[in-house]
Amino acid sequence: MRVIMCYMTLIADCTILVLDEATSALDSESETLVQGALENLMRGCASIVVAHCLSTVAALDRVVVLEGVAIVEDGARAELAQVGSTHESLWDRQAGA
């Protein structure tokens, strides 16, 4: 956790922020804390976030869903939450629905 906070301090004045599985190795409590810090950090930055854990991208303006190398869906979380979408299917699977 301290290492993550140090990196956040270093990149506080970013123009573009790229995060690759930023919360993948965290327990639920730590993930919540880091997501809050990342949301603050991403304000004012163009951000590219790669994540398998969909809660990491839930608050983003735009979500792109890939299958292999193909883009299968692209839009806001609310748009992608429609029944039958790939995103919604993945979301339900992760939520245990």
Domain ranges, ordered by start, for the chain: 1-51, 61-97
In whole numbers, what is the pLDDT of the chain averaged over residues? 77
What pLDDT is recorded for position 70?
92
In the chain, beta strands by DSSP E: 16-20, 46-50, 63-67, 70-75
Is the pLDDT at 80 greater than 70, yes or no? yes
Q: Rounded mean pLDDT of 15-26?
A: 77
> Do β-strands 63-67 and 70-75 pair in parallel, antiparallel, or remain unpaired?
antiparallel
Which CA distances in Å does 67 have to 9, 53, 70? 34, 15, 5
Q: For the whole model, what pTM was predicted?
A: 0.66
What is the rounded distance in angstroms from the CA atom of residue 66 to the CA atom of residue 44?
Answer: 26
pLDDT band at 8 (very low <50, low <70, confident <90, very high): low
Instruction: Report, as an integer, the average pLDDT of 36-41.
Output: 78
Residue 13 pLDDT level (bands cut at 50, 70, 90) = low
Amino acid making up residue 5: M
Residues in the chain: 97
Over residues 46-78, the pLDDT tens digits come to 888 887 777 777 778 888 888 889 999 998 888
Residue 11's CB is within 10 A of a number of other CB atoms, namely 12
Dist CA 41 CA 43 (whole Å): 6
pLDDT at position 97 is: 57
